[in-house]
Amino acid sequence: MKHYDVKIAADETQVVTTSAYRQRALDNVEEPEALWWRERLQLAEGVRAELMLRGERVYYVEPSGHAKRANRFPCELGWRDDTLEQVRGSDRDVTRTTYADDDAARRAFDTARAALETRGVVLFDDLAALHEALVAREPALEAALLQAPDDPERLSVYADWLTQQDDPRGGLIARSLAGHERVLERALRAYRRHLLGPIAWRGLDGMLELSWRAGFIRSATLLDGALPDARVALRALVALPAALLLEELGCADGEQMALLEVLPGLALPPLLSRAIVGRSSERPYGYVPTPTPELGHFREVHLRGGYFAIERLPLERTETLCFSGRFDVELLRVLARDLPARTRRLQLSYHSYDPAGREPLLSLLRSPRVAQQIVALSLRTRRLTSIYSENTEKFVRHGVDGVLAGELAARLESLELGDEVALSTIKRLVRHARKLASLRALRIFARPEQRAGIEALLEPMASARGIALEVLASVEHDARGVPTAEVLTNSDAETALDD
């Protein structure tokens, strides 16, 4: 990895130098061109930017057993300005030598580098390349897994091959398939550096929450969006062999902006189809701006936050679109105007509701675009306190009015309502059941004291029309604090439609 500084000059006079090269070096990307720097620094016409080499660093591991090498910290050799630096061992023993100037430091670096190469040590310009060389890969077996990521037979074949290569990932997959969860957790900790490579080597694993299944990372949540470390961590994550089958990428509350800023430039794994920008919680945090075009590569997009500031929806491939946050009239107008062409499942979940939003909500649900595209709809309210709010109940009532008033009612196959649902709204749904000609799945979230009454009203209609009915308590949550049966994921919605 090479480190650069930039000399900025105007009218043949040097003006200033900047240390912006430091972030560029951390990004582990190709060496920048002067044009890139002009754009990055927003230089005026007539101002020149000249790159100056300020340092270089290489990474390596000492020869030893294959798996042992991969699970160790790499050694480093580098120079910057007038200093030569060597880092060795898992205790990160650092030796620094200062020279007369940067040229002397660079010559010392070249000498030390040549000595390592004479010993047969393979040097790498970045940690990602080093990790790639230390782990076992078999393209044919990986391609088979991408076709059927949860097929036990294919996973077992891959595990056997990895074990033959002395790669501990084989044992992880085998333990997972056998259901040995406690042993699996210990193994994940023991081989953390082998599995996470640059993320663990840089000490960035605390920035991510990872969910494993069958020896692979299946979902990742960005917990800390501090840049540039968040960018480095996510770029390293998507390049990991252990993330080959990654399906979901998200961020914690308050980190929505960071995730959207990092997404451009990420090489997304082939199975990555679900983006969760912000977590669903009782306390919404964060500001959700207009999605980046890169978010449009995901088939399922959840946008969660305190406030929305969305002007358009460049989500070309998105089939499932979910919003959770404070009520926003403008968002309803954007959806009516700019609903992505492939979107078939829509979820609106609000922590508050302004009855003045009734007309925009009705306009959205009666719009021809929504009627032609949406087959699964969810209208939810999430109270921030335990105090009953009539306004949040009105959101569901007005939403049902909008569904029944237009062509959407005849095409809708799955409907979900909650978590404040008045009995009068349920009665209206029953009275106009004939309009819901295609409805096959109905799910209601209600306060515990309401469940019996709602079920009694809906059961005759559901039985007569062959509708799969569920009436659930609104307080049910999973281990992450996410309300259970958030059905508008691809898998759950499709299951409901198949019932």
Tell me the residue ranges of DSSP E strands in 382-466. Answer: 414-417, 441-446
Q: With 50 as the cut, is the pLDDT of residue 377 above it?
A: yes
Helix (H) or strand (E) holding 50: strand 47-60
**Cα–Cα separations (whole angstroms), residue 143 to 138, 140, 150, 270:** 9, 5, 13, 10
The 47-60 sheet, strands edge to edge: 13-18, 2-10, 47-60, 75-80, 83-88, 93-98
In a domain, 306, yes or no: yes
Q: With 80 as the cut, is the pLDDT of residue 98 above it?
A: yes
User: Max alpha carbon distance in the chain (Å)?
Assistant: 89
Tens-place pLDDT, residues 135-190:
999 999 999 999 999 999 999 999 999 999 999 999 999 999 998 878 888 888 88
Q: Which residues sit opposite 48 in a β-bridge?
A: 9
71 and 118 housed in the same domain: yes
354 and 484 housed in the same domain: yes
Q: With 70 as the cut, is the pLDDT of residue 255 above it?
A: yes
In the chain, the amino acid numbered 310 is I
380 and 281 housed in the same domain: yes
Q: Residue 6's pLDDT band (boundaries 50, 70, 90)? A: low
327 and 436 housed in the same domain: yes
348 and 465 housed in the same domain: yes
- Looking at residue 227, what is its pLDDT? 79
- Looking at residue 495, what is its pLDDT? 33
CATH of the domain at 313: 3.80.10
Backbone angles phi, psi at 240, to 5 degrees: -70, 140
- Looking at residue 261, what is its pLDDT? 87
Q: Residue 22's pLDDT band (boundaries 50, 70, 90)? A: very low
In a domain, 154, yes or no: no
304 and 266 housed in the same domain: no
Q: With 90 as the cut, is the pLDDT of residue 92 above it?
A: no
**Cα–Cα separations (whole angstroms), residue 101 to 51, 55, 81, 82, 95:** 18, 12, 7, 5, 18
302 and 233 housed in the same domain: no
In a domain, 140, yes or no: no
Helix (H) or strand (E) holding 490: helix 490-498
95 and 215 housed in the same domain: no
- Distance of alpha carbon 85 from alpha carbon 360, whole angstroms: 62
Q: Which residue has the higher pLDDT, 20 or 152?
A: 152
List the structure tokens of 144.
């088979």
Taking residue 139's Cβ as centre, other Cβ atoms within 10 Å add up to 7
Tens-place pLDDT, residues 456-469:
999 999 999 999 99
In a domain, 162, yes or no: no
Among 250, 272, 294, the domain-final residue is 272
Residue with tokens 């100037």: 101
87 and 218 housed in the same domain: no
In a domain, 407, yes or no: yes
310 and 205 housed in the same domain: no
In sequence order, what DSSP letters do the residues of 125-175 get, joined into one string? Answer: SSHHHHHHHHS---HHHHHHHHHSTT-HHHHHHHHHHHHHTT-THHHHHHH
Query: What percent of the chain has pLDDT above 90?
Result: 56
Q: With 90 as the cut, is the pLDDT of residue 241 above it?
A: yes
- Looking at residue 498, what is its pLDDT? 34
- Looking at residue 499, what is its pLDDT? 33
Please give the residue range of the domain that contains residue 281: 277-499
298 and 427 housed in the same domain: yes
Taking residue 329's Cβ as centre, other Cβ atoms within 10 Å add up to 14
- Distance of alpha carbon 271 from alpha carbon 244, whole angstroms: 8
- Distance of alpha carbon 42 from alpha carbon 45, whole angstroms: 10
- Distance of alpha carbon 177 from alpha carbon 425, whole angstroms: 47
**Angle of helix 423-431 relative to helix 390-405, nearest 10 degrees?**
10
- Looking at residue 478, what is its pLDDT? 38
Sign of the alpha-carbon dihedral angle for 316, 307, 219, 345: negative
Residue 115 exposed, middle or buried by CB count within 10 Å (0-12, 13-18, 19+): exposed
- Looking at residue 64, what is its pLDDT? 66
Which range among 90-94, 367-371, 474-478 has the greatest average pLDDT?
A: 367-371
342 and 457 housed in the same domain: yes
- Distance of alpha carbon 215 from alpha carbon 234, whole angstroms: 19
Among 212, 245, 272, the domain-final residue is 272
Backbone angles phi, psi at 490, to 5 degrees: -55, -50
Tens-place pLDDT, residues 203-223:
999 999 999 999 999 999 999
Q: Which residue has the higher pLDDT, 420 or 111?
A: 111
Comparing 23-32, 325-334, 352-361, 434-443, which segment has the lowest mean pLDDT?
Answer: 23-32
- Distance of alpha carbon 30 from alpha carbon 46, whole angstroms: 26
Q: Residue 248's pLDDT band (boundaries 50, 70, 90)? A: very high
Backbone angles phi, psi at 338, to 5 degrees: -130, 30
List the structure tokens of 334.
């954007």
- Distance of alpha carbon 193 from alpha carbon 204, whole angstroms: 11
Query: What is the tally of structural domains in the chain?
Result: 3
Round the average pLDDT of the chain to a whole number and report it. Answer: 83
Q: With 70 as the cut, is the pLDDT of residue 267 above it?
A: yes
- Looking at residue 39, what is its pLDDT? 46
In a domain, 148, yes or no: no
Helix (H) or strand (E) holding 429: helix 423-431
Tell me the average pLDDT across 423-450. 94
Among 272, 302, 330, the domain-final residue is 272
In a domain, 340, yes or no: yes
Query: What percent of the chain has pLDDT above 70?
Result: 80
In the chain, the amino acid numbered 425 is T
